[in-house]
Amino acid sequence: MGLKNWYNSQDQGVKVGVLTAAVTGGLAIVAAIVTGIFSIVNAEIDHPSQTQTSSQPSISHSASSGLPQRSRPSSALACSSALTLTSPANGTYIQNGANGIDVQGTTCDLGNNSAWLFDWDSQDQYYYADYNGNSPGPLTVPVRGKWSFQDEPIGDPGDNQKEYVITLVSASPSCNHSILQSQSIQNNQNILRFPAGCKIVSKRVVYVSYP
């Protein structure tokens, strides 16, 4: 006989037992499915997928060393100019050479080089070194930043709007040594032509009167 006919032929107690067993079995299946879903969700929470995007900054690897390479901060980037003049302006008129003029500039990682300042005389065409004190020497400048130097006196008594060129030189160690060893003329470190390793990096033309 078929399952339906068999069920209809049973008394009321058997029918109730069958229905109870069916419901209980169905609930067990549903419970098993729900338990499985929660297990998968918990596993994903405990061990997130490796494909998720990391919030950490990316790190590249050097092909040669295999070590991680981070981008250098902007402060460590190469300077646009290691040594330059910012003042005075070209064509500045100095009314009294005895008072001189404030010369300003900037440095940015000179390395082993030194900064020398000279006044070029348009008449005898010598470069006259500017320095503090009694001993010739390079300027005292920061590794990076602004500097200033009071260039005084500039010119000679009797000058009347005479042209001078304030000249800034980046000097290698050999150039620095050559300048210091050059022959002094009237207690001035005078240079007619710069030796090897000396590089003129900036100039300003000024006109000087010296009453």
Contact indicator for 130, 85 with CB cutoff of 8 Å: no
Quote the CA–CA distance of 69 and 62 in Å, as a whole number: 6
Write phi, then psi, for 105 (nearest 5 degrees).
Answer: -165, -175
95-115 exposure pattern, b = at least 16 Cβ within 10 A, e = fewer: ebbeebbebebbbeebeebbb
What CATH number has the domain bearing residue 114? 2.60.40.2550
One domain, residues 96 and 195: yes
Domain with 165 in it: 81-208
Confidence bin at 58 (pLDDT 50/70/90) = very low
Confidence bin at 149 (pLDDT 50/70/90) = very high
Contact indicator for 167, 203 with CB cutoff of 8 Å: yes
Q: Report which of residues 161 and 16 the model is more confident about.
A: 161
Confidence bin at 181 (pLDDT 50/70/90) = confident
Q: What is the mean pLDDT of the chain?
A: 78
* pLDDT for the residue numbered 4: 54
Quote the CA–CA distance of 98 and 89 in Å, as a whole number: 19
The tally of domains found in the chain comes to 2
Quote the CA–CA distance of 185 and 50 in Å, as a whole number: 77
Confidence bin at 136 (pLDDT 50/70/90) = confident
Q: Report which of residues 49 and 100 the model is more confident about.
A: 100
One domain, residues 24 and 87: no
* pLDDT for the residue numbered 73: 45
Confidence bin at 50 (pLDDT 50/70/90) = very low
